[in-house]
Amino acid sequence: MLLSFTTSSEDPISGGRHKVLGSRALNIPPQTSTIASHLPKAVGAAYSIDLSRRLKPEHQDYPQDAIVYCSFGDASLNHSTAQGALNAAGWSTYRRAPLPLLFVCQDNGIGISVKTPPGWVCDSLAHRPGLAYAGCNGLDVVATYATTKQLAEQIRRSRKPAVLHMRCVRLYGHAGADVQQAYLSQAEIEAAEANDPLLYTARRLIEEGVCSHDEVLDLYLETEGRVARAAEDVIARPGLRTAAQVMSSIVPPARPVSSAPPPEQSAREALFGGPDMRAVNEAQHLAKLINFALTDLMLQYREILLVGEDVGRKGGVYGVTQKLHGRFGAHRVVDTLLDEQTILGLAIGLGQNGFLPMPEIQFLAYLHNAEDQLRGEAATLPFFSNGQYANPMVVRIAGLGYQRGFGGHFHNDNSLAVLRDIPGLIVACPSNGRDAVLMLREAVRLAREEQRVVVFVEPIALYMTRDLHEDGDGGWMHRYPAPGQESVRLGEVNVVGEGHDLAIVSYANGFFLSLQARKALKDEHGLDARVIDMRWIAPLPKASLLEATAPCECVLIVDECRRTGSQSEALMALFAEHSEQATARIAAHDSFIATGPAYASTLPSRDGIVDAALRLCREDQSLERGSS
């Protein structure tokens, strides 16, 4: 703990990155400062334990008789994340899902300065559905030990969650800079100090004849000396200095995995069934191809689990996970309760115990009330544990704009800014079914072998799109690439055309529209453009983009996300820093998306791309004429 408090690079858990507590040897993952954000993953970890008996993931971390311990303070109990996790634990019990989980509320009666109303914690926790309750006085170590042990045994036996409400005192204010005299009376401070657990326990040892007064004092002084010597020692230990040192654990280490050959044809036939097996050999739209890819991946890797709202029997809002529930069962295609924090927390806990979760967020706009689970939890775990812990997963999110007549902003959110700036997070965004299959396989490889957290954004408006240029041309339908044959690697972009006049850089719907614009530019204006699908939003595929655009006179960036904070800002900077080409961008307006006839009015259009391309190329030519 002293190595942690002094941020020594020898700190066994964080390697000097933060004063977080944890231990690989004792299986205590480090927790970030965000209060209550660890409760959802505690639910996920507990859920993973009994599931691991059935599915035995290759990288299982917890023994099958383990229980999960998760503590939090009395003020933190009020956080919506805590409430959501307690609710999810109770809900799971009603669904008869085994959940060996012990919550402990350490109730010292105060947050930083705001007091918890007397009786609140007990009344709030004692009668929760699906959650057993016990209380104890933390000052009394003997009773606390007995109550905890009894509760732990009950949880281990019943596989049902419980909460221990432990009352305790707070000494010396919340943190170094917190002066408790500002909000507590002298009498309150003295009352807490009179109940200093050390003095209380010492008093009890003497009163009950376990130790003499002198023996207690000797123990105290001997311990104080030992701590002082250790403190002197750790102060001299090295700390982190350089950016490279700090950043070395943002990306977790790769891990050895057993080879898992692509699924046998006979197994596929049995699972897909006749009609779908025929469909596998015909061109299909994006939604169907993702469904096929998920089926083959789940067949290949037993540790893949789908979790989300409506992913099961219904097969997802857009039918992407249709039939998977029937194919793999309710324990691998899990219909969760309606809470995005729980969905992502479930995935984090499952990932930590060797599963490969694929949580689904129904719509991009609904990621936002749970984004801290990615930002503050999933993405930071390798960082704060010096690469000792990871929670690999592939998060599928349906998103972006252009849905005709459905839902306005909430079902057409067009900003990925919240994902792009998270260190270590990979953001993939396919534009078509073929790419989606190959990129999904790469996403699973990245999670399984490299322990990465991958967010896979699926453009809803293209799910069922069949045609590219005109009705019935089938230009957006693709044949399913058979498992194990082809691949798209992280950072690999797709280049369509070999034109030198102009490079259009885009992704998702923008790529689709840019291909239409390319045809118009060629047919109507004799301009030869190539169109580049970035495929990967983060990390930005810089080298591939520069290489793909290098032969072209000009570069036009087409970005369907809101102008401010969009990928186009990073792309403009990339080309400004690395190329001499005339570069311009069109992006969505800084607006929310309307529903009704104006649904696409704030977004780039085919005609808008054509206009911008012509403008850019003309300006470039006149500049050239001017300079010559």
Ligand X SMILES: Cc1ncc(C[n+]2csc(CCOP(=O)(O)OP(=O)(O)O)c2C)c(N)n1
Would you tell me which residues interact with ligand X (CB under 6 A)? 33-35, 73-76, 106, 108, 110-112, 170, 174
The residue among 375 and 478 lying less far from ligand X, judged by its C-beta, is 375
Q: Which tokens hold the place of 322?
A: 């249709």
In this complex, which beta carbon is closest to ligand X, that of residue 33 or of residue 258?
Answer: 33
CB of 165 to ligand X, least distance (A): 13
Nearer to ligand X, 112 or 191 (CB): 112
Shortest approach of ligand X to residue 296 CB, angstroms?
Answer: 40
Nearer CB in complex with ligand X: 252/345: 345
Residue 403 identity (one-letter amino acid): Q
User: 334 — phi, psi (to 5°)?
Assistant: -100, 115
Smaller CB separation from ligand X, 21 or 260: 21
Q: Judged by CB, which is closer to ligand X: 27, or 34?
A: 34
CB count, 10 Å around CB of 323?
17
User: In the complex with ligand X, which residue's Cβ is closer, 18 or 606?
Assistant: 18
Strand residues in 382-526 grouped as ranges (E): 393-399, 426-428, 453-459, 494-496, 502-506
Tokens of 205: 């040892």
Cα distance between residue 628 and residue 623, in whole Å: 9
- Closest approach of ligand X to the CB of residue 176, in Å: 13
Shortest approach of ligand X to residue 174 CB, angstroms? Answer: 6
Report the residue number, 296 or 372, with the smaller CB distance to ligand X.
Answer: 372
C-beta closer to ligand X: residue 105 or 517: 105
Residue number of the CB atom closest to ligand X: 73
C-beta pairs of 485-491 under 8 Å, 24+ apart in sequence: 486/438, 487/438, 487/441, 487/442, 488/435, 488/438, 488/439, 488/442, 488/535, 489/442, 490/426, 490/442, 490/446, 490/536, 491/536, 491/539, 491/541, 491/543, 491/544
In the complex, what is the shortest distance from the CB of residue 108 to ligand X, in angstroms, rounded to a whole number?
Answer: 5
Within its chain, how far is the Cα of 516 from the centroid? Answer: 34
Question: Residue 109 or 604: which CB sits closer to ligand X?
Answer: 109
Residue 74 Cβ, how far from ligand X at the closest point, in Å?
Answer: 4
Q: Are 531 and 557 in contact (CB under 8 A)?
A: no
Class of residue 66 by CB neighbours under 10 A (exposed 0-12, middle 13-18, buried 19+):
middle
Residue 76 or 509 with smaller CB distance to ligand X: 76
Q: In the bound complex, what is the minimum distance in angstroms from residue 171's beta carbon to ligand X?
A: 11
DSSP state of 378: I
270 neighbors 299 (Cβ within 8 angstroms): no
Alpha-carbon distance of 327 to 316, in angstroms, equals: 15
Sheet containing 393-399: order of strands: 333-335, 304-308, 356-361, 393-399, 453-459, 426-428, 536-538
Question: Is the distance from CB of 164 to CB of 125 less than 8 angstroms?
Answer: no
Nearest distance in Å: CB 201, ligand X: 19
Residue 374 CB partners (closer than 8 Å, separation 6+): 344, 367, 395, 419, 422, 425, 453, 455
Closest CB 81 distance from ligand X, rounded Å: 8
In the complex, least distance from residue 195 CB atom to ligand X, rounded to whole angstroms: 15
Give the residue with the Cβ less far from ligand X, 120 or 363: 120
| Exposure string over 540-552, b if 16+ CB within 10 A, otherwise e | bbeebbeebbeeb
**Smallest separation, CB 348 to ligand X (Å):** 17
DSSP code per residue over 179-241? -GGGTS-HHHHHHHHHT-HHHHHHHHHHHTTSS-HHHHHHHHHHHHHHHHHHHHHHHTS-B--
- Cβ closer to ligand X: 124 or 412? 124
To ligand X, the closest distance from the beta carbon of 13 in angstroms equals: 19
Min dist. Cβ of residue 191 to ligand X (A):
16
Q: Where are the extended beta strands (E) located within 328-486?
A: 333-335, 356-361, 393-399, 426-428, 453-459
The whole-angstrom separation of Cα 186 and Cα 41 is 40
